[in-house]
A and B are shown apart, each in its own frame.
Chain A
């Protein structure tokens, strides 16, 4: 008997993954109750969403929204959502990063709400609206955007009589000065996946385009090689720290000046503030360094939408809530305070919560981002298998930043693997 159990346990145990993939829990999608009151379930993870939902339920007697907190997308939330869609018991609405939205669409996991949403298009920034539309379909309401800027440790820069760099060439010479002043000091940490994508985005080095009904993958383009070569140069010269972003070593470095800058989106303000408390008063924000002197190119990193998932019984009510969450002044004020979300709605850019912050020495950092937002390159498309693409990219980037490969090779490999998987699944690929 024991033998049987042991042997069976092998078979059963090894399949645990499939069990996890197949099993899911959730509540049924939006349903209209007999009383006519619409009921919507919403899955998300941003701090502040729960309070916003409470406020909505109070002010909207005809729609009842239930908020359920899930793991952040990349940490399991997206998988849970996809599993729920597969099982047919997904919620009506889900928080979805722009970069993942096309992958969800490619799995048939999203509902087209263009019918209800198109009238509100003018309320949103152009680039943000583009992020939730694909081939004429609208899949949700943009919530926040991630215009990028340069976070820098002003104390470190001041101590070396340096000003915030305005071009990438200056950034490189500052990197040398900082490292020369103290071998423990570095200009930055390695950039991975979507943080790296932001660097490419600024340079107009797109990764995906669509041509008719076919995809083109351009991670290995000349424009991308230029960005890669620049950062490869910094890495080869030993100017980049080995502390991975979001790791404790990174936060420590941000706090004690060993990592002098973060090239990142507006929400990094919340990350830096929360993780590197000892850096309070030392950090400041400057516009993104430019490839050409006097340029105004800006990249975007992150940002998310409230997307309508497949099977939603009441997409109209779902849109009503999603649009309200993105445009209500009081609700969004709370999101700025709790999650440093930068609104995608044009009418919210003057919120009083977007004001000076003592952590940043009293600087009103949002002014920098407000100036940057209109210059975010709107010509960027995410691919249909992003989770897989960035996993492959990170395999190579990890090696490149630690001196065991090159960023160019990482991009090339990620492109090849993405193309191979796309072809395997039958997606049309343009030559």
Chain B
């Protein structure tokens, strides 16, 4: 941002305090247009892919959500699509299965995201501690679950939860305890456990990298002032990596909203506790199964807008979140 702003200010002759114009810019001499546009060419490959792979499908989904599917009689011919901009949206908001799914992932996010990030922060601080041993090992061990594809992880956990084979319950059996992982109330947290297991290491690495960027002299000064390791962690390190924490939180909020793999894999063994519209994406998928693409698109758009709003509010609440 600074590079773009500086020449404009230089032209008016005013200098913002503390910002020197880059050496290559001569005051009063705007660069030729062609030269100014040149950097855009370097962005072209990205922009082209971005437009084709992100923008176009979003526009396509948004547009198709404005139509409703119409058939007639036995419906053995191709359905027609009728422009009805609010039809699918009105239906989505009155669809108990869809709104229930939204509520479910909201609850999931409110509980699971803070828990996971606290765990990730604690692990990152531990391996960042001066006295820590075997850093490399713990860094790798913490990160390893992330390397396992989500579906494979869910398959392994479905075995761990299964009433038939659960090694966890087998270990607990002598104590007379048996965890009903697929109980209607518990199943969401069984899913949360898998997600936490998979993603804690990933977030730990992001936070750990941010910790590495804290200037050594700041930490040195704190120590010279007699701050304990705990005090350094809480008063120096955590505030310094605020940006990384906000970033991981936003990613995790988005991830929660998109919950799909884990509940889908667990569904067949869940004894009905996980329905076909357990999460918003599963609900949209079930609309696709009914051959109703526009309704699925509308559900996706509603979810996207809600996630956008939640992320925006979160960033507002956490202040100038971009400053790492």
Contact = CB atoms under 8 A, between A and B. Distances in A.
Interface in A81-103: 82, 86, 102-103
B30 interface: no
Interface string A402-416: 101100000000000
B275 A395 contact: yes
A36 B153 CA distance: 51
Given A22-B61, A425-B69, A108 B74 contact: no
B189 interface: no
Contact of B291 (A23, A103, A401): A103
Contact of B271 (A3, A210, A398, A422): A398
A86 B296 CA distance: 15
A398 B73 contact: no
Interface in B276-292: 276, 281, 284-286, 288-292
B46 to A, nearest CB: 12
B57 A19 contact: yes
A51 B73 CA distance: 41
A391 B289 contact: yes
B290 A387 contact: yes
Contact of B269 (A12, A108, A210, A244): A244
A243 B159 CA distance: 11
Contacts of A243: 164
Interface stretch (B139-147, B170-178, B213-221, B247-255): B247-255
B254 A108 contact: no
B70 A426 contact: yes
A425 B75 contact: yes
Contacts of A399: 271-273
B76 A134 contact: yes
A350 interface: no
B98 interface: no
Q: How large is the interface on B (under 10, 10 to 19, 20 to 34, 35 or more residues)?
A: 35 or more
A425 B71 contact: yes
A421 interface: yes
B112 interface: no
B196 interface: no
B289 A388 contact: yes
B169 interface: no
Contacts of B285: 17
B211 interface: no
Main secondary structure of the interface of A (DSSP, over half): helix
A396 B75 contact: no
B131 interface: no
Interface in A1-60: 1-3, 6-7, 9-19, 21-23
Nearest to A245: B268
Contacts of A421: 290, 292
A247 B159 CA distance: 9
Given A2-B322, A2-B324, A388-B286, A426 B57 contact: no
Contact of A18 (B269, B272, B296): B296
A11 B304 contact: yes
Nearest to A401: B271
A249 interface: yes
Main secondary structure of the interface of B (DSSP, over half): helix
Nearest to A250: B164
B273 A398 contact: yes
B308 A135 contact: no
B210 interface: no
B74 A425 contact: no
Of residues B75, B243, B250, which shows the largest number of chain A Cβ atoms within 10 Å of its Cβ? Answer: B75
A137 B57 contact: no
A399 B270 CA distance: 9
Given A7-B308, A392-B276, A426-B72, A14 B77 contact: no
A22 B293 CA distance: 9
B272 A398 contact: yes
B61 A18 contact: yes
B83 to A, nearest CB: 15
A15 B284 contact: no
Contacts of B76: 102, 105-106, 134-135, 137, 384
Contact of B58 (A12, A246, A395): A12
A391 B264 CA distance: 12
Nearest to A405: B272
B267 to A, nearest CB: 8
Nearest to B274: A398
A14 B302 CA distance: 9
8 contacts: A3-B321, A10-B254, A106-B71, A398-B271, A398-B272, A425-B71, A425-B79, A426-B70
Given A105-B76, A106-B79, A399-B271, 9 more contacts: A3-B315, A3-B321, A14-B307, A18-B300, A108-B79, A248-B165, A395-B275, A398-B273, A399-B272
Instruction: State the 9 A-B residue pairs at the shortest beta-carbon distance, nearest first.
Output: A108-B78, A398-B272, A399-B272, A402-B271, A18-B61, A249-B164, A388-B290, A213-B73, A14-B304
Interface of A: 1-3, 6-7, 9-19, 21-23, 79, 82, 86, 102-103, 105-109, 134-135, 137, 192, 210, 213-215, 242-244, 246-249, 252, 310, 384-385, 387-388, 391-392, 394-402, 404-405, 421-422, 424-428
